[in-house]
Amino acid sequence: MREIISVHGGRRLSGTVAVDGSKNSALACLAAACLVTDGEPVVLENVPAISDVAVMCDIIRELGKDVTVSDGKICVSGDFLNSDVPKALAGKIRGSMYFLGVLAAAAGEFHCGFPGGDQIGERPIDIHLAGLQKMGVDCEVCDGIVEGKVSGTLTGCRIYLRYPSVGATCNMMLAASRAAGRTVIENAAREPEIVDLGNLLSAMGVRVSGAGTDRITVTGTESVRGGISYEIIADRIEAGMFAIATAICGGSVRLDNIIPYHSFPLISLLCECGVTVEEDDNSIVVISDGRLQPFKVEMMPFPGVATDLQPAVAVMASCTQGGISTITDLVFQNRFQYIEELKHMGARIEHMGNKLEIRGGLRLHGCRIHGGDIRAVSALLLAGLSAEGETQIEGVEHLRRGYPQIDAKFRELGADVAILKLAE
């Protein structure tokens, strides 16, 4: 049997949806939970039930620690028994790279399969390795394995990241947590997930300051404590998907369990397009008549509009009333594989390097299409919501990597979305 997503478009959305915990934050925080030195458990709450999290838990178990999962909570306890991250598991998710910093700090060495994840352009790990080398780790990459060994003592230092990479910033924070002395990370990423990791590390007894700015200071400690519970922040990308879906389809949808500030760059763009967004402390209400104006936007590191939303924003551009919308991605140069699928649905898109020009005013039509990564599949789902007729989308396995029960959530809002099993 194989699965497809079936979407019948043309329905307005209405109701309330609770946004799940952040995928990107959960992966970093699961790695941080492995840093404890007192043997006490760390319990993470509001963890999304997605396949990337399941793979992360499998890696932690392979390293010898105990992991229990129950109703949105994950408990990590025990000690490392080895420092080998299997190649087969590491290659499934980008989050496996966090064990470079964790194992360097906790075990003094690592043998990690090359990290995987979506194929969305060059995402080199040299920024990670350069930072670890400055802290005293001898690193090399050979036959798809990243190896490292601490030469002497892992020592805090001043590290300049040539690009404000979220992954590299997290890795430096993780390694610095148990390094001797103080580590200063310059040109650090400022994403909300960085702040969440910093807050967890602080709760575990690590001194962290500046998370959310471009200069983060971490003072290492020999005593990273467990015995705590910590709630993961809401997923701003999932929130963005529902907000964009409402803008496209029209209607009124309340998004609960979020921090509006984390979505403010997108909220500003939606308002520019003619959408009304009402903010509360932990929720927003998105109100749209479906008549969207063209726009120009650059996808960039926070506080810009997130590159993870670029495919969804492109769908929104296709659904404007007319004119040309321009999207420039300043983060990834190859996150455009979904374009041909949108063209099959009738979209008019010009692709030039990292820039898209998209003509609005043309109704999309349903057809059979395929998404090659998490964000592409979810964006094509949004395209199906706005299209005439039925859209059948292949790539359900990618959707499950990042969005828990998204089909059921859309049905609760009135959309006609279902995951169907078909005979081969």
Q: Is the pLDDT of residue 241 over 60?
A: yes
- What pLDDT was estimated at residue 144? 83
Is residue 70 predicted with pLDDT exceeding 50? yes
| d(C-alpha 170, C-alpha 370), whole Å | 32
List pLDDT tens digits, range 87-106: 999 999 989 999 999 999 99
Residue 334 pLDDT level (bands cut at 50, 70, 90): confident
388 pLDDT higher than 50: yes
Q: Read off the pLDDT of residues 203-237 as tens digits, 9 standing for 90 and up.
A: 999 999 999 999 999 999 999 999 999 999 999 99
pLDDT at site 330? 92
Residue 337's pLDDT is: 86
Predicted local distance difference test score (pLDDT) of residue 214: 97
Q: What is the DSSP letter of 365?
A: B
* Stretch 241-268: mean pLDDT: 97
pLDDT value at residue 276: 98
Report whether pLDDT(423) > 60: yes
**Mean pLDDT of the region 143-164:** 94
> 117 pLDDT band (50/70/90 cuts)?
low
pTM: 0.94
Q: Could you give the 3-state DSSP secondary structure of residue 354?
A: coil
Distance CA 186, CA 188 (A): 5
Average pLDDT for the chain: 94
Name every residue whose Cβ is closer than 8 Å to that of residue 322 and which is 6 or more positions away in sequence: 294, 359, 360, 361
Counts of helices then strands in the chain (DSSP H, E):
14, 24
Question: 116 pLDDT exceeds 80?
Answer: no
Task: Give the pLDDT confidence score for residue 123 in this predicted structure.
Answer: 52
User: How many other C-beta atoms lie within 10 A of the C-beta of residue 142?
Assistant: 7
Per-residue pLDDT, 118: 47
Whether the Cβ atoms of residue 242 and residue 253 lie closer than 8 Å to each other: yes
**What burial letters (b/e) apply to 287-320, b meaning 16+ CB within 10 Å?**
ebebebebbebebbbbeebbbbbbbbbbbbbbbb
Token look-up 């969207």 returns 292
What are the pLDDT digits (tens) for 177-186? 999 999 999 9
Q: Sort strands 207-209 and 283-288 into parallel, antiparallel or unpaired.
A: unpaired
What is the predicted pLDDT for the residue at 319? 97
Residue 420 DSSP SS3: strand
| Per-residue model confidence (pLDDT) at position 416 | 97
The string of DSSP letters for 203-264 reads HTT-EEE-BTBSEEEEE--S-----EEEEPPB-HHHHHHHHHHHHHH-EEEEEES--GGGGH
As to burial, measured by CB atoms within 10 angstroms (0-12 exposed, 13-18 middle, 19+ buried), residue 152 is: exposed
Q: What angle do CA 299, 308, 92 make, to 5 degrees?
A: 140
Q: Indicate if the pLDDT at residue 346 is higher than 80.
A: yes
∠20-328-378 over CA atoms, to 5°?
A: 30
* Sheet of 390-394, strands arranged across: 368-370, 390-394, 2-8, 416-422
pLDDT confidence of residue 120: 41
